[in-house]
Amino acid sequence: MTDYVQALTTVDSADASEQLARSITSARLAACVQIVGPIKSIYWWEGELDEAEEWQLLIKTTTERLSELVAHIKEHHSYDIPEIIVTPIIGGNAEYMAWISAETTRTDA
């Protein structure tokens, strides 16, 4: 298992994206959350093809904080089944990775 991951989720508004991003980073569950959007999603829901304007959150964290992050997203998300996809970070700038570790373990927030 890698030490670092990027989690992805989507929400239904710019306000919701900022609220969720701030709650995640304030809780030190991630060092950084980037918001991308609006994006257009086309998907199946309850047997019908649907579409929505959404905002995507790209969340950088450690594998150590991942289960808490997933629980936090589920608790603070408005969707019945929030998209939460996690991708391992297999390499990158060593100083950046150290920064992720430092910011997700700080307690002086």
- pLDDT (0 to 100) of residue 91: 92
How far is it, in rounded angstroms, from Cα 60 to Cα 29?
A: 9
Chain centroid to CA 86: how far?
A: 9
pLDDT one-digit tens code per residue, 10-30: 999 999 999 999 999 999 999
Q: What is the pLDDT of residues 29-57, one digit of tens each?
A: 999 999 999 999 999 999 999 999 999 99
* Residue 2, pLDDT score: 73
% of the chain exceeding 70 in pLDDT: 97
* Number of C-beta neighbours around residue 16 at 10 A: 18
d(Cα 77, Cα 25) in Å, to the nearest integer?
15
Q: In what order do the strands lie in the sheet with 4-11?
A: 32-45, 48-62, 4-11, 85-89
Measured between alpha carbons, how far is 93 from 109 in angstroms, rounded to an integer?
Answer: 25
Rg over CA atoms, the chain = 14
The domain of 22 spans: 4-105
At 106 the pLDDT is 80
Residue 25: give its domain's CATH number: 3.30.70.120
Number of domains the chain contains: 1
